[in-house]
Structure 1
Amino acid sequence: MAIVTPGVVPASVLLAEPRPAWLKRFAEAATTIRFGDFDADLSAQARLVVLDCLGAIAAGMQEPEMRALTARLARRGGRVTAPAVGAGLALRADDAALANGIAGTMLELDEGNSFARGHPGIHVLPALLAVRPLAEVSGPDFLHAFVFGYEAGARIGAASRLRNALHPHGTWGTVGAAVGAALLDGAGAEEVIGAINLSSSLSVGSSLRTMLEGATVRNAYAGMSARNGLTAWDLVTAGFTGETDGVRSVYGGVLAEGFRPEEMVAELGTRWEIRRNYFKRHAACRFTHAALDVVAGLIAGHGPIAPEAVAGIEVVTYVWAAQLDGARPDNMLAAKFSVPFAVATMLAHGAASVPAFRAPALTDARILDLAGRVTVDEDPAMSAMLPDRRPARVTIRLTDGRVLTAETFTNRGDAVDPYGPDEVVAKFMELATPVWGAAHATRIREAVDGLDRAADLADLDALLKEPAREEH
């Protein structure tokens, strides 16, 4: 009997669908293009992204919640081989992937990709640090797995449109983590296909509202993705199977829609998503950065602007930034997702730094009063520029009658307006030095810089397991 209910497809039709052609092409590229085929710029970029992620993880690991979580996870015992970066201990592989993924998003300083509309690196790296003991892994193999894990996740993000109520963390990053884990374990093309299909079903359906409320479960999403990616690969190696076209099912209907399979292989092997990434210097949601870049430019051009000298501020920007209009955040996470607070605290502190979003700033009457005088509006023309551009126009009206205004169409750190390698390294040192001291942070930097030549990662493993300084 034929089905007449709209939207329900008979199993006979579903099961007749063939495996999509892109899966084979992607898996064959991932297993035949080796690290030796990467050019020097791609290798350097991969090492820079790894370094940036490690800095974000180490700094985030010092937050009170992370200290409590790693202490609890350490009680499990078992075979502890993987570093909890900055915690000074090793954990079980799955627990380390979870902890490192969470820590890397705690301070909103993890790198990302505007075309994927998310943060590929912090989903993939925690999984790779835990697949197997790092002493058994060569640097070139690690970088190869990292680049293709990044590629898999980022391309799914670019090829689909997540539902508006969904947070991007924990979604397609699960597939990236699984692909990276599979490659680091020496998977062949068929196994990579299995990892892609199975891991898509383990993607996290995560609420966007958590970031607006400041519900810190949001920080767990990337950690869940890294852990689920490891689990997916374990299931594949044990004989479990995924759907024939799991990515299309999940990212063409369940979590997202409009999946375009051609994007998974467009310019594959020549256009690398990790090269189209961005790095962050403002310790806040990327959607705030256009406004913050404009404010930084106004400060540079006109000198410090005291909050009490401001009558009002108007921010006009694209839709996802305009959504962040809450002016009185309850905690650090919510503050990082508030354009009014981010702009106000930047004027008060001179920079959108980590301290600018901590508890003292959240109760600072000058900042809160100014945040209440910031309006945020969407310009549909600016929204239409996404994802290639992330624009904002800021107008600051001063109490003395002066009006300061400027706009931007790109964000500092984007591929079209990148930070130089020295600036990314400086960011790592700023984050890692308070954790371990300058000498130890320098040794980690040098170890990451030498990944392309490392026969094994035993030294890096030991460096990442070093405890934080007592005074930190």
Structure 2
Amino acid sequence: MSIVTPNIVPASVLLAEPRPAWLSQWGQFASEIQFKDLDKALIEQAKLVLLDCVGAIASGMQEPETQALLARLVRRESGQGFAAIGAGRRLGSPEAAFVNGVAGTMLELDEGNQFARGHPGIHVLPAALVARAPAEIGGRAFLLAFILGYEIGARVGAASRLRNTLHPHGTWGTIGAAFAAAHLDGAGAEALVETINVSSSLSLGTSLRTMLEGATVRNSYAGFSARNGLAAWDLVASGFTGEIDGVRSVYDGVLAEGFKPEEMVAELGRRWEIQRNYFKRHAACRFTHGALDVVARLIAEHGALGQAAIARIEVETYVWAAQLDAPAPANMLAAKFSLPFAIATTLVHGEASVPAFRAPALSDARIGDLAGRVVVSEDPALTAMLPDLRPARVAIHFADGRVLSGETFTNRGDARDPYSPDEVRAKFADLAGPVWGEAHAERIRRAIETLDEAADLVALDALLAAPPLKDE
């Protein structure tokens, strides 16, 4: 018997396929590696990523939508469990993972990875923090699991091309979250492989249009990844099974295409994706950052540019940044994904800060008028530089004929032009200080930076569970 319909493979052929070698290699690698095998630079980078994620979660937890979501979740809980970071509340593990993931993406300030084309840390951390009781997890075990979860998720992102209509949040981050949870629970090589296969089937099919329209359901995707990651490990630990090659099925057909299995093991254990990450200071989509870096540099060199005297602003950049050309966003989320608005509000406020995208900025006639004078276009030569570079050219034309211009090929904060550790710490202080006060934020920073010396996570958990200042 044979099948003549194109692209349909008989089950007898599918079921004869062996497990791919990279999966077995990953299971063996992750089950055997120990904390002592990690070099100091890698460990310190992981701590910076943890610090950055905690700051983003705590600050995002103060947003009205996050507070309303938290209130609904708290009504269903007894108050025991894990910290909703920056809320002074405790929830069961699935709910805590979910709300922390949601909060971490609210302000568009969480770290990311340009090679994975997404944000690994904020998908993995919320699941890792609730995988075991704090008293049961040593600091070194936690750091190792977080690094491995980040690594597997980011590599799936780098090894495949998500469909152009798909938002990366909620996709391969689910695999990273599940893997970290499984590793913290002592999963062996076979269970780790099964976790990869099961969690791949629990990846979300997320719409890219949500970010363009300002549909804030988009901010839930990382929370669902964390929660689904926990569920994936619970399923595997309970005896449920996945496909023989779930990653290829989902990331070379369902959600993505062009999956390259060789990328999953290239320099495995020598090249770490967490060391190729980026940190964000502009509170907007990463695709806007090249142009915003140029604008920030022009402001630093020339002072306030007098937006009323600007005739037009021309931006040439790569395709994904050029797509963000809507000049009149409807809400804060849409504003963060509008290159004209981001440039205009930066010129008015002097920086792309959190307040620069809030409601008062959205209703500011000066910003709206200036955003309407921004013209964005794609330069195919700049698109061709992806993913290694994230280029942009900006030319500000004044009514008197003057032109100020600049270009960049990297984004501040990425692996080629990184922020210093002190700059990342300063960002954390800016985000966490208003939530808990400077002294408490400093205690959290010290706890994270000495996490490899901690026998358990009890002290860190208590610090993260502290109520915000407004609740004291």
User: Aligned residue for 1:429?
Assistant: 429
Q: Per-residue displacement from partner, 1:28-69 (whole Å, max 9, x unpaired)? A: 111111111111000000001000000000000000111111
Q: Structure 2: how far apart are the matches of 1:135 and 1:285?
A: 37
Q: Structure 2: how far apart are the matches of 1:180 and 1:79?
A: 25
Q: Aligned AA for 1:329?
A: P
Tell me whether 99-108 or 133-142 shows the greater mean CA deviation: 133-142
User: Aligned residue for 2:244?
Assistant: 244
User: Aligned residue for 1:363?
Assistant: 363
User: Aligned residue for 1:75?
Assistant: 75
Q: Per-residue displacement from partner, 1:51-110 (whole Å, max 9, x unpaired)? A: 000000000000011111111101112583111000101101000000000000000000
Aligned-residue offset at 1:306: 2.2
Contact 1:58 1:435 in 2 (8 A): yes
Q: Aligned AA for 1:129?
A: L
Q: Aligned AA for 2:156?
A: I
Q: Per-residue displacement from partner, 1:426-466 (whole Å, max 9, x unpaired)? A: 00000000000000000000000011111011000000000
User: Aligned residue for 1:380?
Assistant: 380
Q: Aligned AA for 2:376?
A: V
Q: Structure 1: how far apart are the matches of 2:32 and 2:405?
A: 52
Q: Structure 2: how far apart are the matches of 1:91 and 1:357?
A: 30
User: Aligned residue for 1:278?
Assistant: 278
Contact 2:311 2:373 in 1 (8 A): yes
Q: Structure 1: how far apart are the matches of 2:8 and 2:46?
A: 43
Q: Per-residue displacement from partner, 1:365-399 (whole Å, max 9, x unpaired)? A: 00000000000000000000000000000000012
Instruction: Quickly say closer, same or farther: Cα 1:244–1:217, change in 2 above 3 A.
Output: same
User: Aligned residue for 2:467?
Assistant: 467
Q: Structure 2: how far apart are the matches of 1:419 and 1:17?
A: 46
Q: Aligned AA for 1:297?
A: R
User: Aligned residue for 1:103?
Assistant: 103
Q: What pairs with 1:246-265 in structure 2 (closer than 5 Å)? A: 246-265=246-265
Q: Aligned AA for 1:153?
A: G
Contact 2:79 2:89 in 1 (8 A): no
User: Aligned residue for 1:26?
Assistant: 26
Gap runs ≥5 in structure 2: none
Q: Aligned AA for 1:356?
A: A
Q: Aligned AA for 1:389?
A: L
User: Aligned residue for 2:327?
Assistant: 327
Contact 1:87 1:465 in 2 (8 A): yes
Contact 1:135 1:461 in 2 (8 A): no
User: Aligned residue for 2:412?
Assistant: 412
Aligned-residue offset at 1:27: 1.3
Q: What pairs with 1:186-265 in structure 2 (closer than 5 Å)? A: 186-265=186-265
1:159 and 2:162 aligned: no
Aligned-residue offset at 1:148: 0.3
1:41 and 2:41 aligned: yes
User: Aligned residue for 2:311?
Assistant: 311
Contact 2:317 2:382 in 1 (8 A): yes
For residue 470 of structure 2, give the secondary structure of its aligned residue in structure 1.
coil
Regions of 4+ moved over 6 Å: none
Q: What pairs with 1:139-154 in structure 2 (closer than 5 Å)? A: 139-154=139-154
Q: Structure 2: how far apart are the matches of 1:459 and 1:309?
A: 54
For residue 296 of structure 1, give the secondary structure of its aligned residue in structure 2.
helix
For residue 469 of structure 2, give the secondary structure of its aligned residue in structure 1.
coil
1:391 and 2:391 aligned: yes
Aligned-residue offset at 1:471: 7.4
Contact 1:80 1:93 in 2 (8 A): no
Contact 2:389 2:409 in 1 (8 A): yes
Aligned-residue offset at 1:400: 2.2
User: Aligned residue for 1:298?
Assistant: 298
Aligned-residue offset at 1:408: 0.2
Q: Aligned AA for 2:360?
A: P
Q: Structure 1: how far apart are the matches of 2:36 and 2:185?
A: 18
Query: Which TM-score applies when normalising by structure 1?
Result: 0.99
Contact 2:79 2:90 in 1 (8 A): no
Aligned-residue offset at 1:190: 0.5
Tell me whether 346-355 or 125-134 shows the greater mean CA deviation: 125-134
For residue 311 of structure 1, give the secondary structure of its aligned residue in structure 2.
strand
Instruction: Quickly say closer, same or farther: Cα 1:458–1:471, change in 2 above 3 A.
Output: closer
Q: Structure 1: how far apart are the matches of 2:77 and 2:61?
A: 20
Aligned length: 472
Q: Aligned AA for 1:97?
A: A
Q: Per-residue displacement from partner, 1:149-207 (whole Å, max 9, x unpaired)? A: 00000000000000000000000000000000000111111110010000000000000
Q: Structure 2: how far apart are the matches of 1:32 and 1:276?
A: 23
User: Aligned residue for 1:350?
Assistant: 350
Q: Aligned AA for 2:149?
A: G
For residue 404 of structure 2, give the secondary structure of its aligned residue in structure 1.
strand
Q: Aligned AA for 2:357?
A: F
Instruction: Quickly say closer, same or farther: Cα 1:471–1:130, change in 2 above 3 A.
Output: closer
Q: What pairs with 1:54-93 in structure 2 (closer than 5 Å)? A: 54-77=54-77, 80-93=80-93
Q: Per-residue displacement from partner, 1:279-298 (whole Å, max 9, x unpaired)? A: 00000000000000000011
Q: Aligned AA for 2:201?
A: S
Q: Structure 2: how far apart are the matches of 1:465 and 1:119?
A: 24
Q: Structure 1: how far apart are the matches of 2:433 and 2:66?
A: 18
Q: Structure 2: how far apart are the matches of 1:5 and 1:79?
A: 56
Q: Structure 2: how far apart are the matches of 1:79 and 1:191?
A: 32
Contact 1:304 1:347 in 2 (8 A): yes
Aligned-residue offset at 1:419: 0.1
Q: Structure 1: how far apart are the matches of 2:239 and 2:180?
A: 19
| Percentage of pairs with the same residue | 71
Q: Aligned AA for 1:217?
A: V
Aligned-residue offset at 1:136: 1.4
For residue 131 of structure 2, give the secondary structure of its aligned residue in structure 1.
coil
